[in-house]
Amino acid sequence: MNSQQTIKNLHDLEFDNQFTREMPADPETENFRRQVSQACYSRVSPTKVRQPQLVAYSKEVAELLDLSTAAVESDEFAEVFAGNQVLEGMDPFAMCYGGHQFGNWAGQLGDGRAINLGEVLNQKGEHWTLQLKGAGPTPYSRTADGLAVLRSSVREFLCSEAMYHLGVPTTRALSLVLTGEQVLRDMFYDGNPQREPGAVVCRVAPSFLRFGNYQIFASRGEIEPLRKLVDYTIRTDFPELGEPSREVYLRWFEEVCRRTADMIIHWMRVGFVHGVMNTDNMSILGLTIDYGPYGWLEDYDPNWTPNTTDAAGRRYRFGNQPQIALWNLVQLANAIFPLIEDAEPLQQSLDEYADGFEQGFQQMMADKLGFSTLQRETDLPLIEELQQVLQLVETDMTIFFRRLAFLKAEGEPTSDVAELMAPLMDAYYDPAKVTEDVRAKIVDWLQRYLKRLREEQSSDVERRERMNLVNPKYVLRNYLAQLAIDKAAAGDFSLVNELLELLRHPYDEQPGQEEYAGKRPEWARNRPGCSMLSCSS
């Protein structure tokens, strides 16, 4: 197949299922809830649904899989990616893993509502695992039904692709399909469950391995399966590190730490809050995985969490994400310790995570502020003080940084406070609260910031272009996702697809789309789905 060819028939997809071929399988083939030991996965088939209907798909992910538009828009596509049809070459399975949830060891968890269909081998020689989320019960479903509803599926589908186009490491989403079924969910955990439309998202990634895949074996003292899984991971996803050995295990852990730091820096850059950073939701590839009760930081509040379950402790709040990632890496280090039997080199990688994150975060902030180079003596105090300034009054993070690029550093400094503040006023949720005292503190910071910009060799136009490459204009605000969900529930998929197109170009101005770049409206401040969310999906 040459680079111009695309697959018009789904039956022409080529599957090369390395994971099920090489990893130890659960010998039990019946689908019932159970503890699974000495195995990486259990084979299980998706549950058939009544009436699959394609809501939306990502053309970029279809291209990764060499799928033509005709193939994706065929009736058979909806059947396959709702779970009604298993193509020849697929080998469906659910993975076994454990994890720490909110800091506590939860034992065996596993793919409770996710079923991996198989690994597509595309024409570039890349392996892409196809995974259906919401495709029915598995041996790991515990007391749940293994299904997903439209509201959570819309959010997962849109955010996966939005994050990719923002430049954030992430799993991808190929498709969103309605099942034609009604699913019972207690959205508010208040004893009043409601029936909601069921849906399935097809997620796509090189691998869906999580920290918890390694933890479960270590917790049970199953060292040989642990070693097999680590060796497999290195050979398939980190081959550049060399053949598995003790030294390569250490290099692998160091690389996982580096990738995790990079991912968190990107989250902080765009104001993304994951909401459920349990160790079973941490990708071994450093990808954002499992879009549950996530949120975008609108008001710049480092203590904000989008997760109602986390409202009391705020463990997974925005400002705590770097520390939680480190905590999770410590748990991964504990899991692979039996293969190393020496804590010192593992601790060294953890220390390097902390150092690497700090340096990367500082450089990222310098980029957001338009500095061509990071001058620590002047820039670090400015960055630290800005984080305080942003909390003086309710300030929209996305708009503030985007509008900061409109400040003028060229020419004579202005003494007109209103003129200086004008580009930023759209970022404040209640401009009346920008009191004289607050205004004075903001202006003081702005004047020192402009003084620093005047040391740059670039023009205002060049600086604005640089800043607009890292400060998005459009993000998937929760209220926008909820509006799309409301329409889709009524059978109108237009806003899902309109937002998908909008979020393909988050850094572009996109004339005519400015309504999607505005602050969260007041009606959405406390509306369910528009502010905090539960894990119910």
Location of structure tokens 């990502």 = 58
Reference 112, options 97, 127, 130, 125; nearest CA is: 97
> 236 CB contacts (<8 Å, ≥6 apart)?
18, 127, 207
**HEC profile of 20-36:** HHHCCECCCCCCCCCCC
H or E element that contains 501:
helix 494-502
CB atoms within 10 A of CB 149: 25
Expressed in angstroms, the distance from the first to the final Cα of the chain is 40
Q: In the numeric block, which tokens belong to residue 442?
A: 């903001």
Reference 16, options 113, 130, 111; nearest CA is: 130
Residue 186 C-alpha from the chain's centroid: 24
Q: In the numeric block, which tokens belong to residue 114?
A: 């996710």
Could you say which of 66, 111, 280, 290 is catalytic? 280
Location of structure tokens 């060399």 = 242
Q: In the numeric block, which tokens belong to residue 457?
A: 């060799």
- How far CA 250 is from CA of 226, 230, 283, 343, in Å, comes to 15, 11, 18, 11
Q: Where are the alpha helices (DSSP H) in 271-294?
A: none
Q: Rg of the chain's alpha carbons, rounded to an integer?
A: 24
Q: Where are the alpha helices (DSSP H) in 123-188?
A: 150-166
Integer Cα distance of 269 and 375 in angstroms = 19
- How far CA 269 is from CA of 42, 275, 316, 467, 468, in Å, comes to 38, 16, 17, 12, 12
Amino acid found at 253: F
Q: In the numeric block, which tokens belong to residue 195?
A: 């029936």
Residue 280 among the catalytic residues:
yes
Torsions phi, psi for 156 (to 5 deg) = -65, -45
> 4 CB contacts (<8 Å, ≥6 apart)?
none
Integer Cα distance of 280 and 261 in angstroms = 17
Whether 121 and 127 have beta carbons less than 8 Å apart is answered as yes
Please return the burial class of 106, using the count of CB atoms within 10 Å of its CB with bins 0-12, 13-18 and 19+. middle
Q: Where are the alpha helices (DSSP H) in 210-302?
A: 211-219, 223-237, 246-270
What residues are annotated to the active site?
A: 280
